[in-house]
Amino acid sequence: MKSHSILKQVDAIIFDMDGTLWNALKSYAHIWNVCMDEFGIKGHIEASDLLRYMGFSIDEIFEQGIIETPDNLDQKLFLKRLEEIEDELMPSLGGELFDGVHDGLQELSKHFTLMLQSNCSGKGLKNFMRYTATESFFTDYLSWGMNPVPKCENIKLLMERNGVKSAIYVGDTQSDCNQSHKAGVPFVYMTYGFGDCTDADFEYSSFSDFVKHVISANNE
């Protein structure tokens, strides 16, 4: 764990979405099942089946074998349709914010530049903000669907185009941590999320605790 003095220098906080700010696993599972039905693929995805894949892009999830696919399946067509269905259904399906997230984001936005970076679809972050009424809290956002490069590159791009000198990345998986460190950014691990992490710079068991501590440290 790094010294909390680092938090004194932070001028921006970049957030992962799934497992960090909300839980939308039931909605994602439904979307996968709708797409599988359209393509005649047998099987059924449960929310729990998606846990191990959180933090990865749709392409990576598919390549890791989340479903048994027919030999003649057009992967590009399937993934394109999966993203289309997600964009169609997520505005109404949505997800559930973790405790303290809405009010916490509102308070943090008074002290820091807040941004979103996730490996979701092109419209995923916009749908999230609209569904949770958090659009006004964020200055910028960038997803894998908007710019399909590694998360570390999108983190750096967000910082560059917003003139950010010192940021932290907040997520919930080892993959998030690895990408944050590749971007040269300290990582904050939210232990209530979907994954594990062994080398986070900071960790918190509740969003409210994180909010209180980062604001307090920054104001010292």
* 183 and 145 belong to one structural domain: yes
Dihedral (Cα; 156, 15, 202, 191), 10-degree rounding: -140
Beta bridge partners of 115: 14, 140
Strand (E) or helix (H) holding 116: strand 113-118
182-195 pLDDT, tens digit each: 999 999 999 999 99
Angstrom distance (rounded) from CA 107 to CA 130: 18
Instruction: Verify that 192 and 173 share a domain, yes or no.
Output: yes
Q: Please tell me whether residues 125 and 69 are part of one structural domain.
A: no
Give the CATH number, domain containing residue 99.
Answer: 3.40.50.1000
Among 93, 117, 148, identify where a domain stops: 93
Same domain, 35 and 68: yes
Token digits for 67? 């479903």
Q: What pLDDT is attached to residue 93?
A: 97
Assess whether 61 and 128 both reside in one domain. no
Beta bridge partners of 204: 190
Closest to 166 measured CA to CA, from 131, 195, 128, 201: 201
Question: To which H or E segment does residue 30 belong?
Answer: helix 25-38
Nearest to 88 by CA among 96, 98, 80, 99: 80
| Side-chain half-sphere exposure of 188, counting CA atoms within 13 A | 26
Given pLDDT bands bounded at 50, 70 and 90, which one contains residue 75? confident
> Cβ distance 115 to 14 under 8 Å?
yes
Residue 47 has pLDDT above 60, yes or no: yes
Least confident of 21-25, 64-68, 119-123, 177-181: 64-68
Closest by CA to 151, choosing from 86, 87, 57, 80, is 57
Tell me what pLDDT residue 2 has. 58
Q: In sequence order, what are the beta bridge partners of 190?
A: 204
192 and 110 belong to one structural domain: yes
**Tens digit of each residue's pLDDT (9 = 90 or more) over 126-149:** 999 999 999 999 999 999 999 999
Based on the domain organization, do 155 and 142 belong to the same domain? yes
pLDDT band at 1 (very low <50, low <70, confident <90, very high): low
97, 21 contact by CB (below 8 A): yes
For residue 41, pLDDT beyond 60: yes
Q: What is the rounded CA–CA span in Å between residue 100 and residue 161?
A: 29
Find, among 183, 154, 188, the residue nearest to 169 by Cα: 188
Full residue range of the structural domain in which residue 113 is found: 4-23+95-218
What is the spatial distance between Cα 91 and Cα 10, in angstroms, rounded to a whole number? 32
> Count of domains in the chain?
2
Q: What pLDDT is attached to residue 34?
A: 97
